Structure 1
Amino acid sequence: MAVRWYQVVVDAHDLPSLARFWCQVLDWRVVFEAEEEVIIAAAPDALPGICFVPVGERKTVKNRLHIDLTPDDQAAEVERLLALGASRVDVGQGGDATWVNLADPEGNEFCVLRPKKTLLD
């Protein structure tokens, strides 16, 4: 039996706004939009995608799953993401962490890792 990773599903309070934030972060686009879901991906037929589905309540606890981003320039990317609406968060990472913890506009945590070229150092 074959299986493929199709998408990650994210609970969202404001689907269109959160989907558009992540489109800007990843340079992706909305590939499907309806009242009950908004799907974003690199291209209409690209997998995996991210699907945003509605929930009535706001996020209240730390994520159990999160996205890691690997930019060419960590400091510049963190500043870009903050300008898009991300915020810094402390999830107990400590002062010696090589990554930066941020949250999207609805509080979902994600990490900005150090540049790819130094991951193997």
Structure 2
Amino acid sequence: MKWILFLLAMIASPVMATVEKGVDANFGSVFASLAVVIVVIFIAATLFKKTHLIKHFTGQDIKMVAHLSVGRNEKIFVVQVGEQQYLLGASASQINLLDKLDKPLEVKQGAPANFAQSFSGMMKK
């Protein structure tokens, strides 16, 4: 946090000097505004990462219905997005859409609600 304040002070001091001298302050104010916006974006990203707020905005409507291991690093997943279900094939290097299911499978009771955690856990095994 101290280095952010130091960075702001380093940016603000030349800007303030140009404003006091009456030199074209337009460039200085644009540069200072840009610097402030970049710092605000960086602080917001850090806060999102530390407070895990990003998890609340992703994966709410995606559920894993079923999975099957078909090889050492290959798995097949049935994923429900909204009302539609998809059959996905996953390997260590890629994920492919195999089919869009016409007749949805029954969702098992106690099925994992968070697709991202379930999928990463299955890929680690």
* Shorter-chain TM-score range: under 0.3
Q: Please identify which structure carries the higher strand content.
A: 1
Q: Please identify which structure carries the higher helix content.
A: 2
Largest Rg, 1 or 2: 2
TM score, norm. by length of structure 1: 0.16
Q: Between the two structures, name the one with larger relative contact order (CA 8 Å, sep ≥ 6).
A: 1
